[in-house]
């Protein structure tokens, strides 16, 4: 067995030397990680920066693994290893560092996402700009994460000699293979291009209110291939992303969230309209759901059944408030008519003729 120079008068085997170097490198990495972590913890106490807390939350675990591996990789040159054993260790460390670094990059994207989510808060009353930014951010994040994963997988596979040979062999058949892959990937590429188009032209955005396939709901998620619409009754409608490029749909918040709401009541011709206008104004003024823009009462039609159609038009700051406001006004107006003009409620008229007078 080979020995090093004596340490404190004792010979040390090579395997012990290598272990000492390796353990020292790992401990040094843990120490550096500990110092960095404590520094960020102190910063988070002195300054209430959400970005610092987000950095600690997302990067703590992968950095705990990356730094010891990095210092262990640096220490390999100081060890006396056989070429075959060193090649195996180098390969394991290379793959581990590549995967860990990819995870760190993905977590950094999450940190940036948290920063933009804090800066562009969807809970604001008029959140058109925030919805634009979030839609683009969500799509770009998913695209970059997918790209990082693909590049990482390619780097790992190409680091093996056998994989490089397979790649060289595949390149000889790239003509036919390219045509086959092109046909196979046509749908996926179409979805990807549609996703880019939606992210930057934005016919829909995160939190937009849509009427699609006869359903009312909000855009909950936009992925690279599909869109999730949260229906009002907590169902989820999943649609391919190309749907919003190829088919018509209603977007109630395309320009702004402001919306008009209507209530139709069918009443007898004897109903006076001016008291209805006054009661409508009273109900709207007392309601926190009204945004004070529109308040209209009109007779919009008359039916063959001897009734008139009265439209109550109101406005609200978003579709949810508009729906609740419509329900409240409908209930309030019916109650008002029942209490003050019950004779003007819808009724069926029958005409009787005296047969004796006709004889």
Q: pLDDT value at position 357?
A: 54
Q: Residue 357 falls within a domain, yes or no?
A: no
Q: Residue 202 falls within a domain, yes or no?
A: no
Do both 124 and 191 map to the same domain? yes
Average confidence score pLDDT of the chain: 80
Of residues 197 and 62, more confidence is placed in: 62
Task: Give the C-alpha separation, 239 to 220, whole Å.
Answer: 12
Overall domain count for the chain: 3
Task: Give the C-alpha separation, 339 to 182, whole Å.
Answer: 71
Residue 324 has pLDDT above 80, yes or no: yes
Short-list 242, 238, 240, CA closest to 197: 242
Written in H, E and C, the secondary structure of 319-354 is HHHHHHHHHHHHHHHHHHHHHHCHHHCCCCCCCCCC
DSSP code, position 7: B
Do both 320 and 222 map to the same domain? no
Residue 307 near residue 258 (C-beta atoms within 8 A): no
Q: pLDDT value at position 165?
A: 58
Do both 130 and 243 map to the same domain? no
Q: pLDDT value at position 189?
A: 64
- For residues 169-191, give the mean pLDDT: 52
Do both 118 and 139 map to the same domain? yes
* pLDDT interval class at 105 (50, 70, 90): very high
Give the DSSP H/E element, type plus range, for residue 36. Answer: helix 14-46
- Tell me the chain's radius of gyration from C-alpha atoms: 35
340 alpha-carbon distance from chain centroid: 50
Do both 242 and 266 map to the same domain? no
> Residue 245 is part of which domain span?
208-251
Q: Residue 349 falls within a domain, yes or no?
A: no
Q: Report in angstroms the alpha-carbon separations of 261 from 53, 194, 217, 231, 291.
A: 43, 33, 16, 19, 12
Residue 29 has pLDDT above 60, yes or no: yes
Residue 225 near residue 191 (C-beta atoms within 8 A): yes
Q: Report helix, strand or coil for 221.
A: strand
Residue 178 has pLDDT above 80, yes or no: no
Question: What is the phi/psi pair of residue 302, to 5°?
Answer: -130, 140
Q: pLDDT value at position 127?
A: 64
What pairs with residue 219 in β-bridges? Answer: 229
Of residues 224 and 273, more confidence is placed in: 273
Do both 56 and 77 map to the same domain? yes
Q: Report in angstroms the alpha-carbon separations of 301 from 310, 313, 327.
A: 7, 14, 21
- For residues 280-298, give the mean pLDDT: 93
Q: pLDDT value at position 255?
A: 73
The strand ranges marked E within 223-303 are: 226-231, 236-240, 250-251, 259-268, 295-302
Tens digit of pLDDT for each residue in 40-90? 877 777 766 777 778 888 888 888 889 888 888 888 877 777 777 778 888
CATH number at residue 243: 2.30.30
Task: Give the C-alpha separation, 271 to 328, whole Å.
Answer: 21
Question: What is the phi/psi pair of residue 247, to 5°?
Answer: -125, 150
Do both 223 and 284 map to the same domain? no
Task: Give the C-alpha separation, 2 to 17, whole Å.
Answer: 11
Q: Residue 352 falls within a domain, yes or no?
A: no
Of residues 293 and 47, more confidence is placed in: 293
Give the DSSP H/E element, type plus range, for residue 64. Answer: helix 50-75
Structure tokens given for 128: 């058109």
Range with the poorest average pLDDT among 12-16, 108-112, 196-200, 240-244: 12-16
Tens digit of pLDDT for each residue in 233-243? 889 999 988 88
Task: Give the C-alpha separation, 70 to 65, whole Å.
Answer: 9
CATH number at residue 294: 3.30.70.100
Tens digit of pLDDT for each residue in 213-239? 989 899 988 887 889 999 988 899 999
Residue 110 has pLDDT above 50, yes or no: yes
Task: Give the C-alpha separation, 193 to 245, whole Å.
Answer: 10
Residue 351 has pLDDT above 50, yes or no: yes
Do both 66 and 159 map to the same domain? yes
Do both 218 and 301 map to the same domain? no
Do both 50 and 14 map to the same domain? yes
Tens digit of pLDDT for each residue in 141-167? 888 888 888 888 888 877 777 666 554
What pairs with residue 268 in β-bridges? Answer: 307
Share of the chain above pLDDT 70, in %: 80
Q: Residue 279 falls within a domain, yes or no?
A: yes
Do both 264 and 118 map to the same domain? no
pTM of the model: 0.57
Q: Residue 201 falls within a domain, yes or no?
A: no
Share of the chain above pLDDT 90, in %: 25
């Amino acid at each position: 067995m080979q020995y090093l120079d004596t340490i404190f008068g004792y010979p040390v085997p090579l395997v012990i030397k290598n272990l000492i170097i390796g353990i020292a490198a790992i401990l040094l990495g843990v120490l550096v990680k500990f110092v960095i972590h404590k520094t960020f913890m102190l910063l988070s106490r002195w300054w209430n920066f959400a970005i610092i807390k987000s950095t600690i939350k997302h990067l703590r675990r992968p950095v705990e693994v990356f730094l010891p591996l990095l210092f262990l990789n640096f220490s390999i040159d100081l060890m006396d290893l056989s070429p075959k054993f060193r090649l195996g260790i180098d390969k394991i460390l290379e793959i581990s560092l590549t995967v860990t670094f990819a995870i760190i990059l993905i977590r950094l994207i999450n940190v940036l996402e948290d920063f933009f989510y804090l800066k562009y808060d969807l809970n604001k009353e008029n959140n058109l700009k925030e919805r634009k930014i979030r839609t683009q951010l969500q799509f770009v994040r998913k695209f970059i994460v997918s790209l990082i994963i693909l590049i990482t997988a390619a780097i790992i596979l190409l680091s093996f000699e056998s994989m490089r040979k397979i790649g060289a062999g595949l390149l000889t058949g790239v003509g036919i293979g390219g045509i086959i892959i092109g046909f196979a990937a046509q749908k996926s590429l179409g979805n990807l291009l549609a996703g880019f188009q939606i992210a930057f032209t934005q016919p829909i955005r995160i939190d937009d209110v849509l009427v699609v396939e006869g359903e009312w709901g909000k855009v909950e998620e936009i992925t690279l291939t599909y869109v999730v619409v949260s229906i009002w009754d907590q169902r989820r409608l999943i649609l391919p992303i190309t749907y919003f490029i190829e088919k018509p749909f209603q977007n109630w918040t395309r320009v702004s969230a402001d919306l008009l709401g209507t209530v139709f009541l069918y009443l007898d011709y004897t109903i006076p309209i001016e008291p209805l206008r006054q009661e409508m104004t009273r109900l709207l003024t007392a309601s926190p759901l009204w945004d004070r823009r529109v308040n209209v009462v009109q007779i919009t039609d008359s039916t063959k059944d001897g009734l008139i159609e009265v439209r109550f038009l109101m406005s609200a700051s978003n579709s949810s408030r508009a729906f609740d406001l419509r329900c409240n006004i409908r209930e309030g107006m019916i109650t008002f008519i029942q209490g003050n003009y019950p004779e003007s409620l819808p009724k069926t008229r029958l005409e009787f003729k005296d047969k004796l007078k006709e004889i």
